[in-house]
Amino acid sequence: MDLDRLRHSTAHVMAAAICQLFEDVKLDIGPATDGGFYYDFDMPHRLAPEDFPTIEAEMARIVAEDVPFERFTTTREEARTMLASQGQDYKIQRLADIPEGEEISFYRCGAFTDLCRGPHVERTGELRGFKLTSVAGSYFRGKETNPMLQRIYGIAAESPKAIKVLLKQLEEAQKRDHRKLGKEMDLFSIREDVGPGLVHWHPRGARIRSIIEDFWRRAHYRSGYELLYTPHIGRAQLWQTSGHVDFYKENMYAPMEVDGNDYFVKPMNCPFHIQIYKSQIRSYRDLPLRWAELGTVYRYEKSGVLHGLFRVRGFTQDDAHIFCTPEKIEDEIRETVSFALKMLRAFGFEEISAYLATRPEKAVGEPSRWEQATHSLQRALETEGIAYEVDPGGGAFYGPKIDLKIKDAIGREWQMGTIQFDFNLPERFDLCYTGSDGDAKHRPYMVHRALLGSIERFFGVLVEHYGGKFPFWLAPEQMRILPISDGQLGYAEEVAAQLREQDVRVTVDRRDERIGAKIRLARNDRLPYMMIVGAGEQEAGTVTLRDREGEQEAMSVEAVLLRLQQEEKR
């Protein structure tokens, strides 16, 4: 069953139940989400978790009635009249968002009718598993100056048994929440004084980020990429040529005027990479060009959707663009998919699947190019043995794509890498190369590619995947030396110096605390190792190595280094 359809239909049934139970309910939106669904309401009654059993019981009644979801269309004026008669002011504003000429549809289930694009399941009886999970405030359209609505979140699945699994997953997810662990482990913060969605990396978090980025750079150079650095702002004309001003402006920060010209902070890196391509005449002998950048971009996300590191306004994309001849594109895509899998597996993600979106009805680019591009994506997935789903017609208007999904330690799916063809920007910027026939007007294939997505979101996923217990090679502090008394401080510092010479990330706990308290703090900080040194160890020139599981062993510093070198795989 289509989970998005199931979740969206459950949101409608929840709204129907709330309208039945409470008075003067004004509706906004109720979409499916990655983890379930939500619906926003404006109503006099202040919703609370204590209301959930009553709402769920009414939802169960609607499901038991097994009424159909019936779609019908109206004219814009008829829709406005209907919504006005129901007092649905927010829906009238949403109606105004529907472009002229686009069909206006409603869905009815029983006595409940909602302005909605759909789609839905056939009947309410198909909704066999659901649970309401939380309630929160949400500004209408995500703007702080608009009214505050009440948002109820829930989860939906194919059966009550599947809901039990999801609830257990949610319980574990709360323990692993990267916002909670980020604060406990002093990894990052988001300061209201600076602005929502703008991340501050603290020393421990910044250390992990630098390890990720260093590994990323080495892997790219080994795979034949060259790295770029590009500006953070560009003239408005650049973004007009790219089409961002026409199609993406609501997600861009307002322009700034410099020397009589408007500039935008960049929401994407691709126009800059294109400018480097255009800086000289290219030959088929130069291609493929593989250019990558850890480029920080800025996008205006509505405050209502900001969420820790998962949804921010400033973030660093592990971005790359490949410029290629048609003859080489299939090999390039196959290598790109292989590279993406190696990268994700290096961070501990073994369960990887894909989503292949193909040509929509309205598209730019020659059909033959679409066919070749889609075939190359499909062949690459099949060659690598990756399970994938096809979304016929679900590609962007400018090219087909693959989205790579990983499954984390508690079974949640996350979309990570993307491999996206683009037949639009090469046309807009008139990208060309000289072919073997001497013709200088050949159009290259252009592929957008991200492996991790963004460093911020990927880092948040890593925190939750490992529950803060990073593998040795990623841990910001790999080892802490715990002297039992001040008499061993000098010896502890000598040992630390030996370890640092071998690039071990080590600190010494110099606090005037009992050894039990020092061990507890190191355990709470989720360190891979701690090293205990007392008078006996100092006299023997040894240490007691203790791991996360509490296993400990007396050994020489040389033996410790040998063990750590074997564990350090990167």
What does the alpha-carbon distance between residue 518 and residue 532 come to, in Å, rounded to a whole number? 10
323 found inside a domain: yes
Instruction: Indicate whether 188 and 128 sit together in one domain.
Output: no
Q: Which of 28, 114, 319, 509 is an active site residue?
A: 319
pLDDT above 90 covers a percentage of the chain that reads 78
CA distances from 392 to 164, 256, 423, 565 (A): 33, 41, 18, 49
Q: Decide which of 466, 495, 529 is a domain's last residue.
A: 466
Give one word for 426, left, alpha or beta, with left for phi > 0 and alpha for psi -120 to 50: alpha
Neighbouring residues of 117: CB distance < 8 A, sequence distance ≥ 6: 105
Domain that includes residue 521, residue range: 479-567
pLDDT band at 397 (very low <50, low <70, confident <90, very high): confident
Token match 């809901």: residue? 163
Point out the catalytic residue in the list 150, 317, 420, 538.
Answer: 317
Per-residue pLDDT, 459? 97
Residue 401 placed within a domain = yes
- 448 classed as catalytic: yes
* 342 shares its domain with 361: yes
**Structural contact between residues 433 and 283, judged by C-beta atoms closer than 8 angstroms:** yes
Query: Does 273 qualify as catalytic in the annotation?
Result: no
Q: How far apart are CA 442 and CA 352, in angstroms?
A: 36
Is position 92 within any domain?
yes
Region 220-248 average pLDDT = 93
Write down which residue in 466, 491, 508 finishes a domain: 466
The pLDDT score that the predictor gives to residue 35 is: 73
- pLDDT grade for 247, boundaries at 50, 70 and 90: confident
Which residues fall within 8 angstroms of residue 72, CB to CB, at 6 or more apart?
105, 106, 108
Instruction: Choose, from 8, 91, 220, 321, the residue flagged as catalytic.
Output: 321
* Domain of residue 169, CATH code: 3.30.980.10
Statement to judge: residues 354 and 429 lie in one domain: yes
User: Which two three-digit tokens encode residue 45?
Assistant: 């009654």
More confident residue, 209 or 359: 209
**Catalytic hit among 220, 401, 412, 518:** 401
Q: Are residues 440 and 486 in the same domain?
A: no
Q: Which of 19, 109, 116, 270 is catalytic?
A: 270
277 and 423 inside one domain: yes
Question: Which long-range contacts link 390-396 to residues 24+ away (Cβ below 8 Å)?
Answer: 390/356, 390/358, 391/355, 391/356, 391/357, 391/358, 392/358, 393/358, 393/359, 393/360, 393/361, 394/357, 394/358, 394/360, 395/357, 395/358, 395/359, 395/360, 395/363, 396/357, 396/360, 396/420
Q: Is 19 a catalytic residue?
A: no
- Token readout for 185 is 């482990």
In a domain, 473, yes or no: no
CA distances from 265 to 225, 442, 454 (A): 26, 32, 17
Q: Comparing 363 with 142, which gets the higher pLDDT? A: 363
Residue-level pLDDT at 366? 87
pLDDT digit string, tens, across residues 167-181: 888 888 889 999 999
Check which CATH number belongs to the domain holding 561 and give it: 3.40.50.800
| pLDDT on residue 165 | 86
Tokens found for residue 483: 């002297």
550 and 455 in one domain? no
Residue-level pLDDT at 447: 94
538 labelled catalytic: no
pTM given for the model: 0.83
Residue 236 maps to a domain? no
Q: Which of 118, 152, 127 is nearest to 39 (CA)?
A: 152
**258 within domain boundaries:** no
Per-residue model confidence (pLDDT) at position 361: 83
Same domain, 390 and 512: no
What is the tally of structural domains in the chain? 3
Confidence of residue 133 (pLDDT cuts 50, 70, 90): very high
Contact 299, 313 (CB under 8 A): yes
The confidence band for 363, taking pLDDT boundaries of 50, 70 and 90, is confident
Task: From 174, 207, 238, give the residue that closes a domain.
Answer: 174
Tell me if 256 is assigned to some domain.
no
Q: What is the pLDDT of residues 420-453, one digit of tens each?
A: 999 999 999 999 999 999 999 999 999 999 999 9
Token pair 């040529």: residue: 241
Q: Are residues 435 and 522 in the same domain?
A: no
Checking if the pLDDT of 1 tops 70, the result is: no
Per-residue confidence band for 166, with pLDDT thresholds at 50, 70 and 90: confident
* One domain for residues 28 and 57: yes
**Average pLDDT taken over every residue of the chain:** 92
Angstrom CA distances, 514 to 144, 479, 482, 484, stand at: 50, 18, 10, 7
Residues 451 and 554 in one domain: no
Question: Which of the following is catalytic: 91, 244, 290, 448?
Answer: 448
Residue 321 has pLDDT above 70, yes or no: yes
Q: Is 442 a catalytic residue?
A: no
Q: Which of 8, 299, 369, 546 is the catalytic position?
A: 299
pLDDT at 448: 94
**Could you tell me if 162 and 36 lie in one domain?**
yes
- What is the per-residue pLDDT for 569? 60
Q: Is residue 248 part of a domain?
A: no
Do 328 and 408 have their domain in common?
yes
